[in-house]
Structure 1
């Protein structure tokens, strides 16, 4: 898993940065990527990356402010022209379905793949055998949600030496053991998976928050996460402005990382007053006084999701 930021600015785009969107690249895990928010010109940013819209599987929208959704109708329309034929599911707050349907209907856009829009008000919004996505309401001017993506633990690797000692050769029995099944051997022995499997491989946790003031639900979603993506619209000297606009400062983001016990923090959603990466350095340094393992989101740069033991 890797995160690729497609937009890191708050409110409006600037010459240096686009508005909010990020891709969770999951090509090793499921040969797809998921998109979180879709601000204006997100599809242009995708064209500048190695991502292909045909591989887009899911879109998660945090809230319905324009800098997080104005790129969605165009992206949905363009996906079919870029080889997208598989089902695409879009998740987000109530009102999202109307926005998508009205935009596509009035523009007479033709969607030639299966498109499903699922509205939610928090809770478990997606689950399969490999991942769970949970959501909680944050504290913003409109309903804004954070997402907690949990990779489920996987069985440990098979001990080939031990399997050979039991007289087993590669074949279907290996798969049965990996699935947790007990095997009856020809000599009457019973072989349990734990006899030949290494320690389970712990799944990773990624938390991606929408716009928010400091709140309890942000910490709950980020609890013990391997990676937390948190807005940091302002430096802490503008904490009153942050509060009035329902946003966070760099220090407040770092405080949440400490309280939640996360491994790594990436700051994003920067005010356009901070023109470029050089002007963002003080914001980063400020956060690092509270939580050292903090990074700045940079557009079209890959951030691996490390597996912490």
Structure 2
């Protein structure tokens, strides 16, 4: 998995930071998933190496404008390009009414399949939101001024690496049999021998896990969702000295994000959704927020627009 930050500011854009959006590229399946879509997100696509035509799923955390105002324009542009095979949207209950109203009033036509999923029930009842042979997506409700949700993308464990040399030593003919053995299946050869795929594969390789958590106050549910994740992307709207504002507006401070990462035992934390009040040149800068978080959780990075991160799974011994 590869993460690209397309917007890392809260509320309003700044010269250096657009409003919220994070792209997840699933390279092996040539798909792109998007988390939030603030105003100007499609312009951020144009400034990146990402291909909008690969967009398959969009996950919205909540309906505040800095997280959704870019969605209608992006979907309309995707339709005009004529190269989408379909997009699935996941978000709060009002998402469908919002999109229907904007697209209808602007006479915009979506020329590809568009499906909208409400996430509230899955979040509240801890049900699976999405699952296929490779990936599982779950979500939980957060603590914000409007209904908001965090998402976890969990890649399923993969079979261990196939030992081709050992297969050749056993005179196993290449082709479909190799594919079955790589999947860990048991096959019967023409000479009657029974070969177990697990015997020719190394240790199971753990899948990669990513959690996207914004906007919220410190949340025990977020800790549960992020448990053991390889990467936690968490909002840090405020510095610790502005905790009173964070409680009032139901956002997190840098220290709240770090505490979540520490208690969840994640591998890495990246701070995003920074208030414009901490722009460079002001009394408190984003680097101060980073230092506050690192004092609690050392393996913390500060997001910036167009930062790319390859998410790596933990080794089996960890």
Q: How many residues are treated as equivalent by the alignment?
A: 308
1:23-72: CA deviation from partner (whole Å, max 9, x where unpaired): 0111x221011000000111111111111211111000000011100111
1:56-108: CA deviation from partner (whole Å, max 9, x where unpaired): 11000000011100111000000123343211001001010111111111111
Aligned to 1:23: 23
Q: Does residue 51 of structure 1 match 2:57? A: no
> Which runs of structure 1 show a deviation greater than 3 angstroms over 4 or more consecutive aligned residues?
none
**Which of residues 132, 136, 151 in structure 2 aligns to 1:132?**
136
Shift of 1:178: 2.0
Aligned to 1:238: 242
Distance 2:309 2:179 in 1: 33
Distance 1:48 1:223 in 2: 34
Q: Within 5 Å, which residues of 2 pair with 1:86-105? A: 86-105=85-104
Secondary structure at 2:276 match in 1: coil
Secondary structure at 2:224 match in 1: helix
Could you tell me which runs of 5 or more consecutive residues in structure 1 were left unpaired when the two chains were aligned. Answer: none
CA RMSD of aligned residues (A): 1.3
TM-score by length of 2: 0.94
Shift of 1:177: 1.3
1:164-199: CA deviation from partner (whole Å, max 9, x where unpaired): 122112111011112332112344332111111111
Aligned to 1:141: 145
Aligned to 1:13: 13
Distance 1:146 1:219 in 2: 11
Q: Which moved more, 1:75-84 or 1:286-295?
A: 75-84
Could you tell me which runs of 5 or more consecutive residues in structure 2 were left unpaired when the two chains were aligned. Answer: none
Distance 2:310 2:49 in 1: 15
Aligned to 2:304: 298
Distance 2:162 2:276 in 1: 52
8 Å CA contact 1:52, 1:82 repeated in 2:
no
Distance 1:19 1:216 in 2: 26
8 Å CA contact 1:53, 1:82 repeated in 2:
no
1:4-32: CA deviation from partner (whole Å, max 9, x where unpaired): 11111111112221110110111x22101
